[in-house]
Structure 1
Amino acid sequence: MRVNTIDKQILSIALALVALLTVPILISPEKGTAVLKAVLDTITSNFGPLYLWACLGIFGFLLWLAFGKYGKVKLGNGDPEFSTFSWLALIFTAGIGSGIMYWGIIEWAYYYSSPPFGLEPSSVDAASFAPTYGMFHWGFSAWAIYCVPSIPIAYAVYIRKSSSYRLSNACRGIIGDHADGLVGKIIDVCFMFGLIGGIGTSLALGTPLLAEGIHHFTGIEKTLTLNLGIVVALMVFFSICLYFGLKKGLKLLSDWNLYLYVAIAVFIFIFGPTAFIIASFTDSVGVLFQNFFRMSLYTDPVGKSGFSEAWTLFYWGWWFSYAPFTGMFAARISKGRTIKGLILGQLLGGTLGCWLAFSIFGNTSMFFEMSGIVPIVDILQSEGAPAAILASLNALPLGGIVVVLYLLVAAIFLATTVNSAAYTLSDVASKNLKPGEEPARWYRVFWGILLTSISIVLMYGDGLEALQTLSIITALPLVFVMFLMIGSFLKWIRADYDIIMQEQEKAERAAGYSMPGPGRIKKKRPEKAPVVPKTGFEN
């Protein structure tokens, strides 16, 4: 990698902000957390409805875009770089981290004991909404937030021939040359800051779960030292994967992660409470579709239960803080796919992948509670979520083996997310990269070490709660950045659409198709394919 590919300005500002965050919290974690908590309360009380409306509007926009005429636009010439399975595996594992292994099995218990809509705790109605709300928070709405940035970023790179996957370039249609100045730097650094907070949240959830597993099998006390040891071990693993790059490292890791994830789900489905899983999932789908808009816009202004602030707004903020990263990563691996394919792949593939956890892992845990086999709710309240998760898994046939595999998948999920984040951050903090060129190995590893080091510092200073809070706070400006990207994309595609479709038709005919579109029939490929003409949208 050439030295002049490192964007020293972006790198310096990002490192300065990281220091500004970690040092005060390390010195005085209580005061630092209290200040951030006060800011968060102000945002949720004054801007909470904005998050809800933005999420619902984004979901509607994506449906309109996918099934409208713009959905046929192909993002770049040639065939996709990755198979559909590997592509979905990369997007899914990068986007959800180990959180799905944590919340997928236990989230229902929180809703069952403290339900929304003023329902009676531990009632039949509470039991109906308990498994449904997890599917809602990790379903179409979440993946809609994730999906939106990937479209303007991919369009800027593959159609407008931008040399960078940065957020600022995806806003260029609205902010113009300001994308290269202070405004662009602010947008990019804001994204990096939000991502650091999101990764911290993932590590804060994944590390205690892994520590509980080690304690369960070895008896080692769950201390700060154990947590730090886990993070350091993961950091070594991250660095090895980052060294091998996107195709040899992240792709293989994501593929095997998904294989193991599905294998555990199939085992539990077959040897667990199969009938209850099917019945509860069916009921949850009905409850979700019947109450989708109520759940999407629920604020409880009279009852003031705090349910929306504690759950829906937290999740939407978390997704918004992660979204630019997942958008950049999805854009990076989606060359050759149509806009419709990119949208449906994320909305349907991501949602179904998450529903697999809530319908199988979560409903199995709920069955043990309802049947009196394992007192999940009591363990949750007395010993915490990690202990309740392991108690549920241990109740299964071959429970010890299931626990080991479950923890392994959680660790790999966490590794894949941090790897993808480090890869994206190294890409954003670079410049003048050639098409298809990856950031240098040492630079990718540097960002992986930096991300985990921040978590180690904050864990030592008991500041992870502050980092989680920060991820929600930084989501607020990112909401407006997303609307900038949408506006920029619409301005571009309306101006480019006719020329794009003409070029796509020429390219498909040149590649040996007798007709363009979904019904195309492949002719015999010529011995030497002609050169595909440029689109004409080069900056």
Structure 2
Amino acid sequence: MKKIKKRVFIPALAVVGGAAILGCIRGDLLSGNLENLFNISLDKLGWLYQIITAITFVLCIILSFSKKGRIRIGGEKAQAHYSFKSWFAMSLTGGIAVGTITYGVSLPMIYFKNIFGELDGFGIAAGSEEAAIFALGRIIHEWSFFPYSIAAVSALCIAYMCYNMKKPLSISSCLIPLLGDKKAGKLATVIDVLAVIALVLGLSGSLGGGIVLIASGLKLIYGIETTQTILIIITMLFAFVFIFSSIRGIKKGVRVFANINTYIFYLLLFILFICGPTLFILNHTTTAFGYWLQNLPLWTFDTGILGGETLVKWWTIMTWNFWIVYAPVTGIFLANISYGRTIREFMIVNFFMPSLFAIIWFGVWGGTAINWQMEGVVDFVPIIQQVGPLSALSAFFNNLPFTKVMIPLMFGLLILSFATSADSNIIAVSSLCIKDEGLENEAPIWVKLTWGLLCSIIACTMILFTKEQEGLLAIKYMGSVGGIIVFGVFILMVISTIKIFFIDKND
């Protein structure tokens, strides 16, 4: 217990545990109040989310191509701890979670068929060729360079302050260039507590989505009913994999699972690209990229006046919020594995390459789904409307070639994708709860176990003791409100990054 920051660990544990208990007792009350708070924040702060995200995007571009890119994290003599392949695998899977897999099919279809009114502000006919290009182009905007810039800026700021400036392992260290050591130190505990709460709640929401996704897939594909026993078994499987990986540590756990996960990603992409509508994928993804570039200025700063509330508020800005929830704590993990690399290399692995992967992934999966919808192979619309977006993935896999191989691969990918995202974040959260011993030292096993079990318990109980969708909404809004809390800290981190690299002397 001597290594533990009790002022961080105990308050964070109390708040998260209290929210979980309230959610189990009155899930409707919790989700309703959090939804109202979240709605107010997006209505009042949507413009600020857009501006800050745009700034992080520009920062990543400038830092990549300017002379600042030659600065080495850890100093000129620092040596990298991981091979380029493992580094990219951990970076990619540390942030991808189950979102890219889940929405790889459903989100392009939602936009393409205007299921919730996403095209209303543009006068585009649902199901048309233009709608297909819009769908893929909009996803490029929301799931590639912009969100990854949020994670990259946070991680770079933490890496530089902890490794180059030799400051304590705390998110508040990123505020030292703005506030000075004394003031930043006073805020350290509060900031770290808020970051831990936001990340744990966000992680619980992701786990809840993963549990329901697996359960719905088992029901749709194998006819296995979604009982409480099935939900508990799925939760235990998820928990075992990611807690085991986090306890094993980065080198023996996270790195191994990340490499396996990445190979499965590559295999599924290759199979679908070759066996799917290859020419359709190439043509529409290429055109969609140009469409995104053409609309980039407007989409970057539209607060919903032109694009409409459904698209901009409930998809774009909510996506930025989701990434900001993870950004400060995930930044600790990304900073850790980036030691010894230059800023230019850092941006290649944490900004450019994962963004390109996302474009390819959505182009292949989303392009195939759109083609199938056009050709009448499968109708995703009633599935999404009646069962939910999560079920679209199962319907998609049911129509793939080599079904007996692809479906088990899908379930394995879902479990590994969440695990490799969760284990890295559990390690990062746990590191904020121990007294400063440097980025390279990990927290005791029992601390990792505590947060891992708590995330699993929150996700499972919120689904079991409330109506399934009500419980998921409560978790979702808990995480989103956590993002609102962290948003102010994130803004200061962005300003601090600008000061570090463009005002202060650091060459």
Q: Settle same-fold status: TM greater than 0.5.
A: yes
Contact 2:162–2:439 (Cα < 8 Å) also in 1: no
Deviation at 1:207, TM superposition (A): 1.5
Deviation at 1:19, TM superposition (A): 2.5
Is 1:153 matched up with 2:166? no
Matches of 2:503 and 2:159, distance apart in 1: 17
Percent identity at matched positions?
Answer: 27
Q: Deviations over 1:357-386 (max 9, x none)?
A: 201111111111110111122322233333
Letter in 1 for 2:409: L
Letter in 1 for 2:408: V
Which portions of structure 1, spanning 4 or more consecutive aligned residues, are displaced by more than 3 angstroms?
A: 302-305, 486-498
Which residue does 2:108 correspond to in 1?
108
Which residue does 2:2 correspond to in 1?
4
Contact 1:394–1:400 (Cα < 8 Å) also in 2: no
Q: Identify which of 185, 188, 203 aligns with 2:189.
A: 185
Is 1:43 matched up with 2:41? yes
Cα distance, 1:413–1:491 mapped onto 2, change above 3 Å: same
Deviation at 1:90, TM superposition (A): 0.6
**Which residues of 2 match residues 377-392 of structure 1 at below 5 A?**
377-392=381-396
Cα distance, 1:366–1:246 mapped onto 2, change above 3 Å: same
Which residue does 1:94 correspond to in 2?
94
Matches of 1:403 and 1:203, distance apart in 2: 20
Letter in 1 for 2:348: L
> Unpaired segments of 5 or more residues in structure 1?
502-539
Cα distance, 1:46–1:286 mapped onto 2, change above 3 Å: same
Contact 2:208–2:460 (Cα < 8 Å) also in 1: no
Cα distance, 1:138–1:495 mapped onto 2, change above 3 Å: closer
Which residue does 1:478 correspond to in 2?
486
TM-score, normalised by the number of residues in structure 2: 0.93
Which residue does 1:368 correspond to in 2?
372
Contact 1:6–1:430 (Cα < 8 Å) also in 2: yes
Cα distance, 1:290–1:456 mapped onto 2, change above 3 Å: same
Is 1:328 matched up with 2:332? yes
Q: Deviations over 1:223-254 (max 9, x none)?
A: 34322321122112222212211101000000
Contact 1:317–1:471 (Cα < 8 Å) also in 2: no
Matches of 2:357 and 2:55, distance apart in 1: 23
Matches of 1:395 and 1:417, distance apart in 2: 28
Is 1:130 matched up with 2:135? yes
Matches of 2:315 and 2:474, distance apart in 1: 17
Letter in 2 for 1:105: V
Is 1:450 matched up with 2:454? yes
Deviation at 1:7, TM superposition (A): 0.7
- What is the SS of the residue equivalent to 1:250? helix
Contact 1:148–1:482 (Cα < 8 Å) also in 2: no
Deviation at 1:320, TM superposition (A): 0.8
- What is the SS of the residue equivalent to 2:80? coil
Cα distance, 1:302–1:280 mapped onto 2, change above 3 Å: closer
Matches of 1:409 and 1:7, distance apart in 2: 35
Is 1:488 matched up with 2:496? yes
Matches of 2:42 and 2:429, distance apart in 1: 28
Letter in 2 for 1:310: W
Q: Deviations over 1:259-291 (max 9, x none)?
A: 011111101111111111111111111111111
Is 1:425 matched up with 2:416? no
Deviation at 1:445, TM superposition (A): 2.3
- What is the SS of the residue equivalent to 1:356? helix
Cα distance, 1:314–1:488 mapped onto 2, change above 3 Å: closer
Cα distance, 1:141–1:220 mapped onto 2, change above 3 Å: same
Contact 1:273–1:364 (Cα < 8 Å) also in 2: yes
Give aligned pairs, total: 495
Q: More deviation in 118-127 or 327-336?
A: 118-127
Q: Identify which of 50, 55, 58 aligns with 1:57.
A: 55
Contact 1:4–1:432 (Cα < 8 Å) also in 2: no
Cα distance, 1:5–1:363 mapped onto 2, change above 3 Å: same
Which residue does 1:527 correspond to in 2?
none
Cα distance, 1:192–1:298 mapped onto 2, change above 3 Å: same
Deviation at 1:200, TM superposition (A): 2.3
Contact 1:423–1:447 (Cα < 8 Å) also in 2: no
Letter in 2 for 1:123: S
Letter in 1 for 2:227: T
Cα distance, 1:367–1:11 mapped onto 2, change above 3 Å: same
Which residue does 1:24 correspond to in 2?
22
- What is the SS of the residue equivalent to 2:494? helix
Q: Deviations over 1:57-109 (max 9, x none)?
A: 11112222222232211111332111111111111111110111100122111
Contact 2:12–2:197 (Cα < 8 Å) also in 1: yes
Which residue does 1:254 correspond to in 2?
258
Matches of 1:248 and 1:364, distance apart in 2: 36
Larger radius of gyration: 1
Cα distance, 1:435–1:391 mapped onto 2, change above 3 Å: closer
Is 1:139 matched up with 2:124? no
Which residue does 2:279 correspond to in 1?
275
Which residue does 2:410 correspond to in 1?
406
Deviation at 1:324, TM superposition (A): 1.1
Matches of 2:491 and 2:205, distance apart in 1: 25
Matches of 1:263 and 1:133, distance apart in 2: 26
Cα distance, 1:133–1:302 mapped onto 2, change above 3 Å: closer
Cα distance, 1:490–1:285 mapped onto 2, change above 3 Å: closer
Contact 2:221–2:398 (Cα < 8 Å) also in 1: no
Cα distance, 1:292–1:225 mapped onto 2, change above 3 Å: farther
Which residue does 2:299 correspond to in 1?
295
Is 1:337 matched up with 2:333? no
Q: More deviation in 13-22 or 293-302?
A: 293-302
Matches of 1:334 and 1:147, distance apart in 2: 11
Matches of 1:298 and 1:495, distance apart in 2: 30
Q: More deviation in 94-103 or 291-300?
A: 291-300
Contact 2:91–2:349 (Cα < 8 Å) also in 1: no
Over the residues paired in the alignment, what is the CA RMSD in angstroms? 1.9
Contact 1:138–1:354 (Cα < 8 Å) also in 2: yes
> Unpaired segments of 5 or more residues in structure 2?
none
Deviation at 1:491, TM superposition (A): 4.2
Deviation at 1:305, TM superposition (A): 4.4
Which residue does 1:513 correspond to in 2?
none
Cα distance, 1:378–1:434 mapped onto 2, change above 3 Å: closer
